[in-house]
């Protein structure tokens, strides 16, 4: 029923087309110039019935506009590279940067629609995969991307005519195989799956356009004017948003009582009540007494003697070496991620792990300020980029959690952006874990006093002075803000699939052993789930 | 892991509590006064571990605030009344009106969490049900409702202690049954289901608060200060929204070129390209030539001779009578809904159907302007109210589509509201159809010329003059706006589950027969799906 409006015989005559096309081309080229500096990417997704003009539309876009600012990606079966990573890795990798237009054929919609049409997945499974698509597209749109999706349509009868015509044409008949006719036989199931898909994934931030594909001239003008109009509106909307934000700031200044944004407002993660006592609204008098936080609940007195440290670390590193090799053989990737206070000992801890590994099997990725190229993408893009192949280990020294720590504290991300990030990060990590990856998330915790001792230590020892910067001192001044942000982070992103491990790191030896033994446990669990650990133990004997 | 922060031993001493409670009660009563005229309802959902204080929290709210403005609903097993309607009917029925607070126990979260914890549904099925919850809550929040959800938590050990303690207390031991202990055994599965549920249903517009339930004083102050703070913020946000809308209008006035909002902007339904030609942005020159619309594609010349009409209608009405009785016996409800131009013949058509039915088996609901009570609720609330019991028929003369027709044209709904309505209506109708209801949606179409003839007819015949009002003439002046709105409506809400039937109604006789025969077909299909139609035909012989 949804496609009835795309079976009305819409068409454009040759005369009309020849009159309109030159003017439209000028408008499109002009538009593209503006888009280049508008600060957002354009994502054009083409799906629909075979023969309805998906590829032709993409060709026309590349022909009528400047192809240097257009990328086209057509996804087929996964490559080796792709199969070794989470499903969406390839889509992240190919995301257009700000100012560019990305055309996508055989996109994230292909497999769900075909799998459902061919009876391989149930309604519930289709909905689950569509929910993943919705999350993906919403994340990009929230970041400013313009997303337009085109469903190119032909009626069953039109498709048959089209296949017949191609078959008869000696120059085109090679295009038509038995598969095409087999697909045509399943037209009704295909359309049913498509209707459900379009309904569930239609959203204001990523609308579907259903285009009647029979007449190439109508089809072309439809697609291109839709892109033109949506892009103009999007640029206008983004300009309007900036003006409104300015008006909002003016409004805020005028008000006598100000309301602090607190986490309940727009966050994606669950709200935890403990903050109420600290973040009042300024209009009420009753405050909850201070309550213990996750960090405060840690026993920071834990230590390890030199002797215990040496013996436990030696055993652990041998075991770790063994397990990493096993994981490699089994194709299990490992991602370890370290966050913590300045001078908490992240670097030293990471070295205790990497020294148990064969070089070439891992990479350590220190996260500093993003590059220009990275800034022109969604903030998660640079982490997707680095995801290792099957069997490899990737170790992050600082991570995507910068979004809800430094970017929150320093105001590099807006309140809306860092609040949204909890949900985005949970989703990202779920995709890692679901793809079979071992994920370790470590917060190295030291007390404020211990940090001062270490800073002073660094100051006084010449070969350690490079480690201490002015920024470290500035960060230290914001200790309370960071502590509050860390508590929120742990509360909202310690999920069952991707829990945080909190490390009491006042004693470096204790911290290192706890980290290494935690990694061992995670690897053992992963191998055991695949039935590989038992045989390993036997081999040891 | 998510619940770790609710196992930290948070508590409030008796002294602290006694000091804070009186002031908080005053603040809450004051807040409630403001809420009464703030123009939105408050929905408080309580879920969590048994014994963690769900019921106690609701009791406290009723004790500390004015219970005349609070409604409490605890849902158990469905009643007869409820089982005969879509699952969410009971939640719609009990929605608090603007200015009221609704407390919900054993809410829409109960069944999904328990079903998953007890292994009755898979992850995908849980997600599907959570998606329904998200749609429901978003719809209410979009309409202005403040939704707060509390997860009252106890650790496994705390819950055991609590059960033991109650068991030992002679006054309380009756509370504890074998079921409670059986549930406790499944604590881990329960918590896993809860974590997934909270993660998937956490949203800025309906946040979860996780509350440590061990200490009643802490728990009470947590819940009540959270409600207080969120309600204050919500009132402030709504006031801010109004100020921003005013600022936006000022902004708009300043601009030279104005951008028309078009359907691609924020609509939930799929965008159909045909509109581009008609709704330009004012900044571009190239327009698509006019393309046929769904209404234009109708063959309006179709007629029926008096003789054909009489014989076909007689047969059809007998058949209809029979089928309605069968449907009633099978417990199948029928909802028929008529929209169409003024003077298109809705009333006469409805009478041809109802005259085939036993009075008492149906009701006809004419939709006029909403009552005060209806205005204080979501616009769909008044349609949920009227949903008939199993076996009954409900016939709407005009319907929920007023939202995207008259409310759109007359500006009673904002652009954002009527655009959102397509998705909301699709969802509503899906729930009706999924519950087993037969749904017929009819658009009675006449040409503009035919309407004029009928208007003049009404004007000249004294006993028909009451049928023609000034409003009819005013609506006629807006014919083009309505035609565009009707096309959009059909394109966006003619789903596979709930398709529109377009009736060429220039000839009344043709129209009536087509409607009655369509209803017959729908009833036959519904009975056939249940294997009841075949035996019926045999009986006829």
- Using a CB-CB cut-off of 8 Å, the residues of chain B touching A222 are 273, 276, 288
C-alpha closest to that of A344 among A194, A189, A212, A507 = A507
Strand (E) or helix (H) holding B314: helix B306-330
Rounded to an integer, what distance in angstroms lies between the CA atom of residue B35 and that of residue B69?
10
Residue pLDDT, tens place only, B13-31: 999 999 999 999 999 999 9
Rounded to an integer, what distance in angstroms lies between the CA atom of residue B410 and that of residue A511?
68
Mean pLDDT of B492-504: 93
- Using a CB-CB cut-off of 8 Å, the residues of chain B touching A271 are 202, 207-210, 226
Say if residue A251's pLDDT is above 80: no
Cβ-defined contact of B202 to A270 (cutoff 8 Å): yes
SS3 content of chain A, % helix, strand, coil (to 5): 55, 10, 30
Say if residue A281's pLDDT is above 80: no
Q: How confident is the model at residue A269 (pLDDT cuts 50, 70, 90)?
A: very low
Say if residue A262's pLDDT is above 50: no
Largest pairwise CA distance in chain B? 90
8 Å CB contact between B302 and B510: yes
Distance of CA A115 to the CA centre of its chain: 24
Q: What is the mean pLDDT of chain A?
A: 88
B interface mutation test: which of A229, A254, A262, A296 has the most B CBs within 10 A? A229
Write phi, then psi, for B438 (nearest 5 degrees).
-90, 125
Cβ-defined contact of B286 to A23 (cutoff 8 Å): yes
- Using a CB-CB cut-off of 8 Å, the residues of chain B touching A280 are 229
Q: How confident is the model at residue B277 (pLDDT cuts 50, 70, 90)?
A: very low
Q: How confident is the model at residue B287 (pLDDT cuts 50, 70, 90)?
A: confident
* Residues 6 or more apart whose Cβ sits within 8 Å of residue A197: A109, A112, A113, A116, A126, A130
- Using a CB-CB cut-off of 8 Å, the residues of chain A touching B196 are 496
**Nearest residue, CB atoms, B286 vs list A4, A20, A203:** A20
8 Å CB contact between B444 and B338: yes
Q: How confident is the model at residue A23 (pLDDT cuts 50, 70, 90)?
A: very high
Mean pLDDT of A398-422: 92
Burial of A241 (0-12, 13-18, 19+ CB in 10 A): exposed
A24 touches chain B (CB under 8 A): yes
C-alpha separations of A121 from A114, A125, A307, B85 in Å: 9, 6, 57, 29
What pLDDT score was predicted for residue A387?
Answer: 86
Rounded to an integer, what distance in angstroms lies between the CA atom of residue B127 and that of residue A430?
15
Residues 120-139, chain B, touching A (beta carbon < 8 A): 122-125, 127-128, 131
- Using a CB-CB cut-off of 8 Å, the residues of chain A touching B208 are 270-271
Mean pLDDT of A148-153: 96
Residue pLDDT, tens place only, B338-387: 999 999 999 999 999 998 888 778 888 889 888 888 889 999 998 998 88
Tokens 């600060």 correspond to: A39
- What is the total residue count of chain A? 541
Q: Is the pTM of this model over 0.90?
A: no
Rounded to an integer, what distance in angstroms lies between the CA atom of residue B371 and that of residue A179?
59
Say if residue A369's pLDDT is above 80: yes
Pull the structure tokens for residue B350.
């409805």
Share of chain A above pLDDT 70, in %: 92
C-alpha closest to that of A28 among A223, A216, A206 = A223
B22 touches chain A (CB under 8 A): no
Residue B489 DSSP one-character state: H
Cβ-defined contact of A284 to B131 (cutoff 8 Å): no
**In B76-215, alpha helices (H):** 80-83, 89-93, 110-117, 123-142, 156-168, 178-185, 187-201
What pLDDT score was predicted for residue B174?
Answer: 80
Share of chain A above pLDDT 90, in %: 62
Mean pLDDT of B310-332: 93
* Residues 6 or more apart whose Cβ sits within 8 Å of residue B343: B446, B451, B454, B455, B458, B467, B468, B472
B interface mutation test: which of A273, A277, A280, A423 has the most B CBs within 10 A? A273
Rounded to an integer, what distance in angstroms lies between the CA atom of residue B530 and that of residue A117?
25
Tell me which of A444 and B253 has the higher pLDDT. A444
Domain ranges in chain A with CATH number 3.40.50.300? 4-241, 306-540
Q: How confident is the model at residue B255 (pLDDT cuts 50, 70, 90)?
A: low
Rounded to an integer, what distance in angstroms lies between the CA atom of residue A159 and that of residue A157?
5
Say if residue A265's pLDDT is above 70: no
Cβ-defined contact of B496 to A210 (cutoff 8 Å): no
Strand (E) or helix (H) holding A217: helix A216-254
Cβ-defined contact of A229 to B276 (cutoff 8 Å): yes
Strand-pairing partners, residue A339, are A443
Residues 208-237, chain A, touching B (beta carbon < 8 A): 208-211, 218, 221-223, 225-226, 228-230, 232-233, 236
| Backbone conformation region of residue A152, classed left if phi is above 0, alpha if psi is from -120 to 50, else beta | beta
Rounded to an integer, what distance in angstroms lies between the CA atom of residue A372 and that of residue B533?
68
Residue pLDDT, tens place only, B431-474: 999 999 999 999 999 999 999 999 999 888 888 788 888 999 99
Mean pLDDT of A20-45: 93
Residue B203 DSSP one-character state: B
**Nearest residue, CB atoms, A251 vs list B128, B243, B269:** B243
Full DSSP string of A232-264: HHHHHHHHHHHHHHHHHHHHHHH-SS-PPP-TT
B interface mutation test: which of A271, A441, A495 has the most B CBs within 10 A? A271
Tell me which of B506 and A466 has the higher pLDDT. B506
Q: How confident is the model at residue B1 (pLDDT cuts 50, 70, 90)?
A: low
* β B334-340/B438-445 pair status: parallel
- Using a CB-CB cut-off of 8 Å, the residues of chain B touching A207 are 264, 267, 270-271
Angle of CA points B13, B14, B18, to nearest 5°? 120
Rounded to an integer, what distance in angstroms lies between the CA atom of residue B518 and that of residue B516?
5
Tokens 């801010």 correspond to: B240
B4-241 classified as CATH 3.40.50.300: yes
C-alpha separations of B202 from A271, B140, B150, B369, B512 in Å: 8, 15, 11, 36, 49
Cβ-defined contact of B127 to A131 (cutoff 8 Å): yes
C-alpha closest to that of B288 among A220, A169, A248 = A220
Torsion of CA B59, B63, B68, B70, to 10 degrees: -40
Q: How confident is the model at residue A254 (pLDDT cuts 50, 70, 90)?
A: low
- Using a CB-CB cut-off of 8 Å, the residues of chain B touching A269 are 199, 202
Cβ-defined contact of A208 to B271 (cutoff 8 Å): yes
Cβ-defined contact of A419 to B232 (cutoff 8 Å): no
User: Could you report how far apart the first and last alpha carbons of chain B are, in Å?
Assistant: 67
What pLDDT score was predicted for residue A328?
Answer: 92
- Using a CB-CB cut-off of 8 Å, the residues of chain A touching B218 are 288, 291
Rounded to an integer, what distance in angstroms lies between the CA atom of residue B6 and that of residue B53?
13
C-alpha closest to that of A374 among A411, A347, A402 = A402
Mean pLDDT of A383-405: 91
* Residues 6 or more apart whose Cβ sits within 8 Å of residue A124: B122, B124, B125, B127, B128
Write phi, then psi, for A329 (nearest 5 degrees).
-60, -35
C-alpha closest to that of B12 among A237, A290, A376 = A290
Q: Is A85 helix (H, G, I), strand (E, B) or coil?
A: coil
B306-540 classified as CATH 3.40.50.300: yes
8 Å CB contact between A146 and A132: no
Cβ-defined contact of B270 to A225 (cutoff 8 Å): no
| A231 CA: distance to closest CA in chain B (Å) | 11
- Lay out the sheet containing A146-153: strands in order across: A70-74, A101-105, A42-48, A146-153, A208-212, B271-272
What pLDDT score was predicted for residue A178?
Answer: 85
Residue pLDDT, tens place only, A176-212: 888 889 889 999 999 999 998 998 898 888 999 999 9
Mean pLDDT of A479-498: 92
A interface mutation test: which of B153, B241, B288, B419 has the most A CBs within 10 A? B288
Neighbours of B151 (CB within 10 A): 26
- Using a CB-CB cut-off of 8 Å, the residues of chain A touching B490 are 5
C-alpha closest to that of A210 among A48, A372, A8, A405 = A48
Q: What is the mean pLDDT of chain B?
A: 88
Burial A117-146 (b: 16+ CB within 10 A, else e): beeebeebbbbbbbbbbbbbbbbbbebebb
Least confidently predicted of A239-253, A257-271, B172-186, B461-475: A257-271
Q: Is A496 helix (H, G, I), strand (E, B) or coil?
A: coil
8 Å CB contact between A440 and A518: yes
- What sign results for the dihedral spanned by CA atoms B156, B161, B167, B172? negative
| A486 CA: distance to closest CA in chain B (Å) | 13
Say if residue B274's pLDDT is above 70: no
| Backbone conformation region of residue A112, classed left if phi is above 0, alpha if psi is from -120 to 50, else beta | alpha
B16 touches chain A (CB under 8 A): yes
Rounded to an integer, what distance in angstroms lies between the CA atom of residue A135 and that of residue A430?
12
Cβ-defined contact of A209 to B264 (cutoff 8 Å): yes
Residues 278-337, chain B, touching A (beta carbon < 8 A): 280-281, 283-289, 291-294, 297
- Using a CB-CB cut-off of 8 Å, the residues of chain A touching B12 are 288-289
- Using a CB-CB cut-off of 8 Å, the residues of chain B touching A286 are 20, 23-24, 27, 221, 225, 228
User: Could you report how far apart the first and last alpha carbons of chain A are, in Å?
Assistant: 67
Rounded to an integer, what distance in angstroms lies between the CA atom of residue A129 and that of residue A36?
33
Residues 417-446, chain A, touching B (beta carbon < 8 A): 419, 423, 426
| A466 CA: distance to closest CA in chain B (Å) | 38
- Using a CB-CB cut-off of 8 Å, the residues of chain B touching A202 are 267-271, 423
Residue pLDDT, tens place only, A415-453: 888 988 998 999 999 999 999 999 999 999 999 999 999
Residue A305 DSSP one-character state: -
Strand-pairing partners, residue A393, are A334, A362
Tokens 């881990």 correspond to: B188
Residue pLDDT, tens place only, B57-81: 999 998 899 888 898 898 988 877 7
Pull the structure tokens for residue B334.
């029928």
Neighbours of B106 (CB within 10 A): 17
């Amino acid at each position: 029923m949804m496609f009835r409006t795309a079976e009305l015989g819409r068409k454009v005559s040759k005369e009309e087309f020849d009159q309109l096309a030159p003017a439209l081309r000028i408008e499109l080229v002009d538009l593209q110039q503006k888009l280049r500096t508008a600060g957002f990417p354009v994502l054009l997704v083409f799906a629909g019935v075979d023969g309805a003009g998906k590829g032709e539309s993409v060709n026309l876009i590349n022909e009528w506009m400047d192809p240097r600012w257009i990328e086209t990606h057509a996804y087929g079966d996964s490559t080796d590279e792709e199969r070794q990573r989470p499903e969406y890795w390839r889509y992240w990798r190919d995301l257009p940067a700000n100012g560019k237009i990305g055309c996508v054929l055989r996109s994230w919609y292909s497999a769900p629609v075909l799998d459902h049409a061919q009876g391989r997945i149930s309604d519930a499974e289709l909905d689950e995969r569509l929910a993943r698509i919705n999350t993906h597209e919403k994340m990009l749109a929230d970041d400013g991307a313009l997303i337009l999706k085109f469903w190119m349509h032909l009626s069953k009868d039109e498709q048959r005519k089209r296949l017949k015509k191609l078959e008869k044409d000696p120059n085109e008949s090679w295009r038509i195989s038995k598969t095409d006719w087999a697909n045509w036989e399943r037209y009704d199931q295909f359309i049913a799956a498509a209707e459900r898909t379009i309904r569930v994934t239609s959203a204001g931030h990523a609308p579907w356009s259903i285009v009647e594909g029979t007449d190439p001239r109508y089809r072309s003008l439809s697609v291109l004017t839709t892109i033109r109009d949506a892009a103009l509106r999007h640029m206008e909307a983004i300009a309007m948003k900036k003006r409104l934000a300015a008006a909002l700031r003016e409004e805020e200044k005028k008000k006598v009582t100000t309301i602090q944004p607190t986490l309940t407002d727009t966050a994606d993660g669950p709200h935890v009540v403990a903050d109420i006592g600290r973040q009042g609204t300024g209009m009420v008098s009753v405050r909850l007494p201070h309550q213990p936080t996750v960090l405060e609940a840690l026993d920071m007195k834990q230590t390890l003697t030199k002797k215990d440290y040496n013996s436990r670390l030696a055993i652990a590193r041998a075991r770790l070496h063994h397990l990493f090799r096993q994981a490699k053989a089994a194709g299990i990737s490992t991602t370890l991620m370290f966050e913590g206070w300045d001078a908490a000992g992240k670097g030293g801890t990471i070295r205790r792990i990497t020294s148990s590994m064969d070089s070439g099997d891992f990479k350590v990725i220190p996260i500093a300020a993003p590059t220009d190229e990275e800034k022109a993408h969604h903030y998660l893009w640079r982490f997707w980029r680095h995801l290792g192949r099957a069997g490899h280990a990737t170790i992050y020294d600082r991570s995507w959690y910068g979004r809800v720590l430094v970017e929150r504290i320093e105001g590099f991300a807006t309140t809306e952006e860092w609040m949204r990030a909890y949900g985005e990060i949970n989703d990202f990590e779920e995709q890692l874990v679901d793809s079979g990856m071992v994920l370790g998330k470590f917060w190295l915790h030291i007390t404020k006093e211990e940090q001062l001792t270490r800073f002073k230590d660094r100051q006084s020892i010449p070969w350690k002075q490079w480690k201490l910067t002015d920024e470290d001192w500035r960060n230290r001044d914001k200790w309370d803000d960071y502590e509050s942000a860390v508590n929120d982070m742990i509360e909202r992103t310690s999920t069952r699939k991707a829990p945080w491990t909190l490390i009491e790191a006042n004693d470096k030896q204790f911290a290192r052993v706890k980290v290494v033994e935690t990694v061992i446990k995670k690897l053992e669990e992963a191998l055991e789930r695949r039935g590989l650990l038992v045989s390993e133990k036997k081999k040891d004997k």
